[in-house]
Each structure stands twice: as C-alpha cells, then as structure tokens.
Structure 1
Amino acid sequence: MTVEKDVVVVATASTSSTFTNMGKRGETKGLFFRTLSSDSLQAVAAAMMAYEAGFRKPAIIYFNNDWGKNNQAGFIDAFKALGGEIGNSVPFNPDQPSYRSEITKTLEGDPDSLYMLSNTQDGVKHFRDWIRFDGPQNFIMPQGMNDSAFVDTVGADLLKNAWFISPGTPANSSLEKMESDFQVRWDATPKGPGRNSGYDAGVLIGLAMVTADMRGLDTSGSTLAKIIREITGPDGEEHYGGVDGLKAAIKAIKAGKNIWYVGATGPIDFDPYGDVATPFVMMKIKDGDYVDVGGISLEEVSEVKAKVRAMNN
C-alpha cells in the first residue's frame, strides 16, 4: 500500500530478509529503508557473541514467523561455522498461557544455554519455564529483548550470564546524545528495542523533509527517498544527532555540502535494497541496567559469513 501511494518507509524494527528479497525484485521501488540490520547480519553477530561468551551448545526457541525462522537459521549456520554445536531449535506460537512443551524440547540433549528469539511478553514465560525446569542460566538475547521491563520482570539476579546483542558502536556521540535526551525528556531508561533505530529513522525523515523544503521540492516518497540516500552516503561530511548536531547538518546541507549522518546505531549507509549494515554492541546486565562489554565489527561479521559460505559449499 505505501509503495502504491508513493510513501517512503524507514522501518525501525523490521529485520526480515523478506523485504530484501522484495527490493531485489523491484517491488519496493526504492521507497523502503530500515535502520536496523537485517537477520543475515544480526544472527551472525549473535552467534559470535554466544561463542565469545563460552557457550558451545545453545538450544533455540524462536518465534514461528519470518523473523524467527530466518534468524535461527542464520544463527545455526554461523555458530556451526565457528566450531560450535546446536541443541534443539524449537518454534513457538505467541500468546500461549504456558510454554512447558516447547521448553521441555529445548532442554533435550543437555544444551549449555538458550537463544531466546522471543518478544518480551512471551520471553518472560520462556525464561521462567526454562528456569523452572532447571535449564542452565546462560542466555543469548536478540535486539528485541533489550527491554528494561523484561529485566525488571524476571529479575537481574537471574540474568547474570545473559548476553544481549544490539546494533551500534560502543563509543558514539549520537547514541550518547540520544540516550541523555531520552532520559531527560521521558525520565526513563533509553535502553530498549527499537529506540536507537527509531531515533535514526526520525532524524532521516526529518532531515529529508527539511532538505526538500530548502530546495523547493515536494515531499513525495520518491523525493524523500532520493534525499535519504544523499545524506547517508559515506562520501559526505560526518554529522551527528542531537539538536546542535542536526542544526550543523542542516547548515551544511544549505551550503551545498554532502553530509553523512552518523546515527545512534552507527554510520548509516544503505545498500540498493534499503538495508543498512552496522556494527554491533554486546551488552550484559550490571546493577539492573545494560552495560556495553564489547563490540563486533562488520569486518568480523563478514569473516564469519565467509566461513558459512565455505562450510555450505
């Protein structure tokens, strides 16, 4: 519908490779972007994090949809390419009162950890059932589980060896500014699924609309899509988030300069299908909050993807 109406979309929480394939077929007409890395990158980064954490045989419980299926498949390939073993991989359907059956299956074969491809609502149930049935308290969490409400509900004490993956870089002025502004404005933790990617999506659409206005252009989807590509190219002058940062970016655009928006998720550079490639941050819980414990570069992700290709050939 958005494509038919010439509306640009900057998705903040979509990672499914379905949209990549639609772009390759020309179905999105260049109007679709996302500020969150696709499953093909996130799954590899999560596998690398799990292996670095010392886990060697994780089980997987995954949402029975495109996101869950694609992510678990990518994770399995990457983890095996790293030299690890995979326990049972079990799908689940949402909004069930109990997941005893699914968790019982994941525990077969003595896994040493659990990769929870869940949403936060069902994830609480998965977590509690895993603990109730004496699963090891070692967890791998996707970006969608980075929610302080989840930590508060299950208790930080049970998450001492839970590892969380998130797109971004450990040291990033846009991220620091976004988090401080969010805290001041909402008096709430800025850590949560889709918050940094949502911030970047809003900035890109806002900058595109301001740029179109300064140039006397319309704000049709095709116009905004073209400008979004202009302000995210690696050949431009780097500009960051926050009020002062965005004022500087607008001033540079008005002066006719090329800019490259470096967002809260890191430097943004879209491929021909609207996918973004960003590095990743590994996080753990300390004193009830998320803290960065390391990073995974795009180069490192690419190396593991090459191992996967070699393994599958």
Structure 2
Amino acid sequence: MIRISRAPVPVLAATAACLVLAACSSGGTTTAASSAPPAAARGDGTLSIGTVLPQTGSLAYLGPPMYAGVDLALKEIGEAGGVLGKQVTKIDTDSGDTTTNIASQSVDKLLAQKVDVVIGAASSSVSESILDKIVGAGVVQFSPANTSDKFTTIDDKGLYFRTAPPDKLQGRVLGDLVVADGNDTVGILAMQDSYGTGLADQVTKTAQEGGATVVERVDYDPKAPEFSADVARIKAKNPKAIVLIGFQETGKVVRELVKQGLTTDKVKWYMVDGNMSNTNYLRMPKGAMEGVKGTLPGAAAPEEFQKRLLKVRPNLQEFTYAAESYDATTLVALAAQAAGDDDGRSIAGKLVELSKGGEKCTTFKQCADLLKAGKDIDYDGVSGPVDFDGAGDPSVATIGVYQYRADNTFNAAKAVEYRTGRIAG
C-alpha cells in the first residue's frame, strides 16, 4: 500500500522526503544483484562509457541536462585521478526515439568500440528495444530516466540498473495529488506506448481508489499531426482535472486544449516527467501554463549542483534527470574502482553493495578514498540515496511536485512540495 502525505509544503521551506519501496522482483528470471564479483580482471584497464541519450526525437529537450550530468561527473572523476589510475573515456551517441532505428545503430557503434557501460536511453521504450543487444554483450546498461515498471522483472542478465524510480511511484503520487486538490472527475490524455499507458493505468487506479472518477481516457498516437478529436473527447465529459502524459508532442496537445477552451483557469492540468519542460511552452501566451502542476522523480537538483552543471554546459535551461545522470556515471566509476576491473559484469557485481550498507559518502573522491582505505561505502547521490534493490531499481526515491509560473516555466531548483509514500512488494 502507499501512504501519501497530503499537507503542502511552501516552496521556500520544502524539505526532501523519500519514497521507500520494498524490493519486489517477482517474475523476473534474473535480477541485477545476481552477478558475482569476478575472480580476476576481465576488462582492459580503462573504463569506457558510451551514452545513448536523446539528441533528436520527442525527448531531445532532455538530452542537454542528461549529457551535462554525465560530463560533470566525468570532470570530477578525472580531477580525482580517474578510475584504476586512468582517465575514463566517453563516446556520445544519439538515442533518437521509437520512430527511428537510431538507438540500435548507436549501440552497434558503441559495442564495436568495446564500451563497458552504456548510459541511457531516456525513453523506456527505446531502452527496451536495445537492452538485449547491450546485456548480451556483457555490457552494463544504466538508465538515468527509465521509469517503466517492466524493467523491474525484465531478463537483464543482472546488467540493467536505473536511478529513476518505477512509474508505479510517480503514478500513485500524481493520482493522489489530483484527488487531494479536490478533483472528483478526471480526464487523461496519454501517449500510447509502454511509458504512457503504464503511467496512465497507475494514475487511474490511484485516483479511483481515492474517490475520483476517470470520466474519459484517451491513449493517443504521439506521431499524430494534430489532437483535436482527442481533446474533444475529453471536453465532452467536462472533467475538473486533466492529466497529460507524454513527451514533446504535449505542446501540440496543450495548444489544442487552449483552442477548445479547456484553459487552466477553468480546468486543472497535471503533467509528468516526460513533458515537464522549461522550453516547450515558451511560445504559448503568457500565463497559459500558470498554476499547472507536475511531478518529477528525484529530489530537486539544488542550486549549487545546477551552478556546477552550468560550468560544463553554460546554456543549460532544463535540469530534469541531470542529477540521475550524474549519479549513474559516478556509481559505475566507483563500481569499477571497487572491483579493480572495468568489465561490465564486474561493475554490475559491485553496484548494489556500493549503494547501501557502508560508510556514507557523497562524491566520487570521497567514496574512492574510502575504498582505497579498505572501507565499505554507501554512496548517497544528488538525486537521492539510490539504494538499489535486487532488481537494479532504486529502493528509496523522491517525487517532487512542481508548479508553473506566469512565464510558462517552473523553478527546477525548488519543488512546491514533496510526496512521501511506502509501497509493499
């Protein structure tokens, strides 16, 4: 079950809280904890990381913060002396989206260059399409942004990890938020893929358990040229709240909502991590997004961390999943250091134990120094404590609630409130 704190916390006084999950990997044939540390080094001595992150496609706006997180981590790792006495190498590639074969081609390129770890993809559907190829090569796949519940039980050969919590968390928090805001009728517009439909299912379940009625749900084709008929179906049922689950195409959906009179002064809108953007709605009339609430997994990236990100990417405007990307990169580097080996299977064998149970540390240098001193460590990241369960999911996570201002942006450094819950497996 989940218990959600309903009391709002003012922006200036917001204090991060955690969503604590019990490990629940029933049904999976192999879990991420199953890889034992190797008896002898199998890598070549140089940790090589490949990225498969969105440069093009429907999540392209998330590419810059994710690349910034990886680059900042590698900068700090390099300044601390690198991994196994050598600098980490990195190869960047594009993930595209599900309408292209770009991700598969990128993975082929990375595997040909013998990377040890792949960071990505952002889209759950894209990651699912390339997972077999990556883990089949004995390479770790580590996503900073995958939220599909499928990955909890997928056959990953013990080589898949993520720093973003499963959708069931965000869906429950969002559904409860909608009800807590006094909405007893809800319409849902969700993109039709594993991310959209899975999240919509959980929002529906939670909202209905809270006493609300989902009066209409439309699972739409994200590649559609326009969404007038989809929005009209929602309008016909006159809901008090509309939940929008999608990616960049949400901009078109929003324009249609405004066109059909379903503006934020008449209906409450709610969004999710896939469409919470500070750039996607800037061309909308001023105030069009004012008051819209949305959920983002992970603690808000603090202003100090954002300043560090801006040093490696000065024009950064989005910060979503930057912290998770930073933590993913730092963790694989620490795992290679702890294993004394850069091979993917060796790295996977160390990730769970480095995330909990030892002496707490928060930076690569601090953690690496403890490892060199023979200490067990517990890496607590910028995105949260991480604490992997046996399926490679973070067992402790945070969901922040953010609210748009009159300029059609939200403050990515400060949540309006955090929602706290506990899920039994």
For the aligned pair, the TM-score class normalised by the smaller chain equals: 0.7 to 0.9
Higher helix share: 1
Counterpart check, 1:4 vs 2:4: no
Aligned to 1:103: 231
> Aligned to 1:229, what secondary structure does the other structure show?
helix
1:270–1:114 distance in 2 versus 1, CA, 3 Å:
same
Please show how residues 119-138 of structure 1 align to structure 2 within 5 Å.
119-120=247-248, 122-137=249-264, 138=268
Aligned to 2:349: 226
Distance 1:204 1:267 in 2: 12
Q: Which amino acid aligns with 1:289?
A: F
> Aligned to 2:153, what secondary structure does the other structure show?
helix
Q: Which amino acid aligns with 2:214?
A: I
What is the CA distance between 1:64 and its match in structure 2? Answer: 0.7
* Correspondent of 1:259 among 372, 377, 380: 377
Do 1:49 and 1:163's aligned partners in 2 also have CA atoms closer than 8 Å?
no
Aligned residues: CA RMSD = 2.1
Aligned to 1:238: 360
What is the CA distance between 1:175 and its match in structure 2? Answer: 4.3
What is the CA distance between 1:190 and its match in structure 2? Answer: 5.8
Aligned to 2:195: 67
After superposition, the C-alpha distances for 1:56-94 in whole angstroms (9 at most, x for unaligned) are: 322111111111111101111111112222121101112
Please show how residues 1-313 of structure 1 align to structure 2 within 5 Å.
1-22=133-154, 27-120=155-248, 122-137=249-264, 138-154=268-284, 157-169=287-299, 175-189=302-316, 191-212=318-339, 217-233=340-356, 235-240=357-362, 245-277=363-395, 278-286=397-405, 288-290=409-411, 291-299=414-422, 302=423
Distance 1:267 1:190 in 2: 25
Distance 1:51 1:98 in 2: 29
1:230–1:95 distance in 2 versus 1, CA, 3 Å:
same
> Aligned to 1:29, what secondary structure does the other structure show?
coil
Distance 2:369 2:285 in 1: 47
1:7–1:155 distance in 2 versus 1, CA, 3 Å:
farther
Q: What is the TM-score normalised by the length of structure 1? A: 0.84
Distance 1:39 1:48 in 2: 14
Q: What is the TM-score normalised by the length of structure 2? A: 0.63
1:256–1:108 distance in 2 versus 1, CA, 3 Å:
farther
Distance 2:403 2:220 in 1: 25
Q: Which amino acid aligns with 1:281?
A: G
Q: Which amino acid aligns with 2:143?
A: A
1:155–1:33 distance in 2 versus 1, CA, 3 Å:
farther
Pairs aligned (count): 285
> Aligned to 2:158, what secondary structure does the other structure show?
coil
Do 1:204 and 1:228's aligned partners in 2 also have CA atoms closer than 8 Å?
yes
Gaps of 5+ in 1: 307-313
Q: Which amino acid aligns with 1:143?
A: D
After superposition, the C-alpha distances for 1:178-212 in whole angstroms (9 at most, x for unaligned) are: 32211233224564433222222122122223333
% same residue: 22
Distance 1:231 1:190 in 2: 32
Distance 1:47 1:162 in 2: 15
Gaps of 5+ in 2: 1-132
